[in-house]
């Protein structure tokens, strides 16, 4: 939908009355024929007719259809780059091909606009060997070697997690029953009082756990774990966790749940892995399963299927280990935890969510439990935070100075970024004589 067509919708929506083609043509400085053509296009783009016509009165919006359209558009991708990424990600995530009419409806664009996007995407794919975008009949398919498809997948994954995977402010806005930012402040004050320093990279996953934990406690959906350990109870981390939940209990008139204290203590202890032995963590799993074995199997599975290596990320291993324990206990007691961040994850991070789906499938088969979509969302958050830590914190930051014309620079930069996307980030660009 072009800007003029957007204006037609805006005018009809704002005034909420009938407009003749002549009136709209004068407002937009175009011909009556152009107005009729634009309205025809608008009605074809959306599955339900948006604008009704009358020989005498002219044109007006169909209120119910327009309301649904506005609601749907809130999640639509408006820029050309966003739509290109959406198409590429859809192609990568599809098991076969994409049905073009469905894609047009999802993006609210015409086939002419789609062809323009495909032209841009083909230019982008020129940086990858043997990747081809094929359009035939009503279907789109991405063809190429598994190696190059995986390379493109990882490249897009890098871009996806660049945009601050877990925004604490956004997460805080989702919870109405408590103030997550206040809880974060309480934790930070406690850490300062005890002169206890935690790894900055671990803080987002700890806050994620805390948000889920408090939401469970306030909704009465918590589970009393049978796990206890004198080693944990003697640690400073346990004291901090205990005091934290006591403050939360006072703030929100809730009970202190011992199992939640234990888990938070273990998460804090994860900042010093030497404090927690493999047996200590393994005991936190039921039925004699070795947690380290399952997590290592999972890491090997992710590497084999997605080419992502989490084997050296201790924060990921510990966080996922503790999450698995909670997940299993919820499964046994048939307790459901709602993931308020789920739709945001699926919308903004579809590639990471796909990794989360395959991870959850592996765990469900390995542990013989059912894992619903809310739980997949929580697992995805662990994966996204780990990916962000590994692939963004260790990249070299570079400044690019180019002596040639801007056109040549663009081509060269794309090649460099494609080849070294895991290792380098170009943060600034200067012309040679700038």
CB half-sphere exposure, 38, CA atoms < 13 A: 20
**Neighbour tally for 174: CB within 10 Å:** 15
What is the model's pLDDT at position 44? 76
pLDDT the model gives residue 19: 92
Of 37-41, 56-60, 262-266, least confident by mean pLDDT is 262-266
> What confidence category does residue 281 fall into, taking pLDDT thresholds of 50, 70 and 90?
very low
Where helices occur in 94-193 by DSSP H, the ranges are: 100-107, 111-125, 146-161, 168-174, 180-193
Q: How confident is the model at residue 284 (pLDDT cuts 50, 70, 90)?
A: very low
Nearest to 432 by CA among 406, 407, 403: 403
Q: How far is CA 423 from CA 179, 218, 351, in A?
A: 38, 43, 20
Q: How confident is the model at residue 10 (pLDDT cuts 50, 70, 90)?
A: confident
pLDDT digits (tens, 9 = 90+) for 374-391: 889 888 888 888 887 776
pLDDT, residue 283, reads 46
Q: Which residues sit opposite 60 in a β-bridge?
A: 52
Question: With 80 as the cut, is the pLDDT of residue 183 above it?
Answer: yes
Domains and CATH numbers, the chain: 3-73 (1.10.10.10), 80-144 (1.10.10), 168-391 (1.10.1790.10), 395-431 (no CATH)
51, 60 in Cβ contact below 8 A? yes
Q: Name the nearest CA neighbour of 19 among 30, 29, 8.
A: 8
CB 68 within 8 A of CB 75: no
Whether 284 and 277 have beta carbons less than 8 Å apart is answered as no
What does pLDDT average to over the chain? 79
Rounded to the nearest angstrom, the gap between the alpha carbon of residue 75 and the centroid of all alpha carbons in its chain is 14
pLDDT at 426 exceeding the cut of 70: yes
Percent of all residues in the chain with a pLDDT value above 90, rounded to a whole number = 16
Percent of the chain with pLDDT over 70: 75
Q: How confident is the model at residue 54 (pLDDT cuts 50, 70, 90)?
A: confident
Q: Quick one: pLDDT at residue 223? A: 57
Residue scoring higher pLDDT (98 or 276): 98
**Rounded (10°) angle between helices 350-367 and 291-306:** 140
| pLDDT at 153 (0 to 100) | 80
* Integer angstrom CA distances of residue 195 from 41, 207, 237: 64, 19, 11
DSSP state of 253: T
What pLDDT, in 10s, does the model give residues 349-372? 888 888 999 999 999 888 888 888
Instruction: Give the integer Cα–Cα distance in Å for 214 and 228.
Output: 20
pLDDT at position 78 over 50: yes
pLDDT of 301 > 90? The answer is yes
Q: What is the pLDDT of residue 151?
A: 81
The confidence score (pLDDT) of residue 282 equals 47
Name, of 8-22, 150-164, 214-228, 286-300, the range with top average pLDDT: 8-22
| Nearest in space to 7 (alpha carbons), one of 27, 22, 23 | 27
Q: Is the pLDDT of residue 422 over 60?
A: no
Tens digit of pLDDT for each residue in 189-226?
Answer: 999 999 887 766 667 778 877 887 888 788 776 655 54
Confidence (pLDDT) at 246: 94
**Are residues 270 and 232 in contact, defined by beta-carbon separation less than 8 angstroms?**
no
CA distance 80 to 16: 30
Q: Rounded distance, CA 210 to CA 178, Å?
A: 11
pLDDT tens digits along 208-218: 778 878 887 88
From CA 212, how far away is CA 235, in angstroms rounded? 24
Residue 381 has a pLDDT of 84
Q: Is the pLDDT of residue 423 over 70?
A: no
């Amino acid at each position: 939908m072009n800007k003029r067509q957007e204006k037609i919708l805006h005018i009809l929506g704002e005034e909420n009355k009938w407009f003749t083609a002549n009136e709209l043509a004068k407002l937009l400085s175009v011909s009556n024929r152009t107005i009729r053509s634009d309205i025809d296009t608008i009605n074809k783009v959306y599955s339900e007719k948006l604008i009704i016509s009358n020989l005498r009165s002219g044109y007006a919006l169909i209120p119910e259809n327009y309301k649904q359209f506005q609601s749907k558009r809130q999640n639509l991708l408006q820029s050309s780059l966003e739509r290109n990424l959406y198409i590429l990600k859809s192609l990568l995530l599809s098991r076969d091909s994409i049905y073009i009419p469905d894609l047009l409806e999802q993006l609210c664009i015409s086939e002419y606009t789609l062809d323009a996007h495909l032209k841009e995407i083909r230019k982008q794919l020129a940086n990858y060997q043997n990747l081809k975008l094929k359009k035939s009949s009503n279907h789109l398919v991405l063809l190429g070697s598994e190696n190059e498809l995986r390379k493109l997948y990882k490249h897009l994954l890098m871009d996806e997690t660049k945009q601050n995977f877990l925004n604490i402010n956004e997460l805080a806005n989702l919870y109405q029953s408590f103030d997550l930012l206040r809880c974060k402040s309480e934790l930070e004050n406690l850490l300062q009082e005890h002169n206890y320093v935690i790894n900055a990279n671990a803080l987002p996953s700890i806050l994620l756990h805390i948000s889920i934990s408090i939401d469970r406690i306030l909704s009465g959906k918590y589970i009393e774990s049978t796990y206890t350990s004198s080693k944990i109870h003697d640690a400073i981390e346990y004291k901090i966790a205990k005091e934290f939940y006591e403050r939360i209990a006072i703030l929100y008139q809730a009970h202190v749940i011992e199992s939640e204290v234990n888990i938070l203590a273990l998460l804090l202890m994860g900042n010093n892995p030497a404090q927690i032995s493999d047996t200590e963590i393994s005991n936190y799993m039921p039925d004699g399963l070795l947690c380290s074995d399952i997590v290592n199997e999972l890491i090997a599975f992710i590497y084999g299927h997605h080419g992502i290596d989490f084997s050296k990320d201790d924060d990921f291993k510990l966080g996922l280990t503790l999450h698995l324990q909670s997940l299993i206990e919820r499964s046994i007691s048939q307790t459901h935890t709602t993931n308020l961040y789920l739709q945001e994850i699926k919308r903004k991070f579809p590639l990471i969510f796909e990794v989360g789906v395959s991870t959850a499938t592996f765990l469900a088969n390995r542990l013989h439990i059912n894992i619903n979509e809310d739980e997949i969302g929580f697992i995805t958050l662990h994966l996204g935070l780990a990916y962000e830590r590994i692939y963004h914190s260790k990249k070299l930051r570079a400044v690019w100075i180019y002596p040639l014309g801007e056109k040549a620079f663009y081509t060269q930069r794309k090649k460099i970024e494609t080849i070294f996307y895991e290792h380098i980030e170009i943060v600034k660009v200067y012309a040679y004589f700038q």
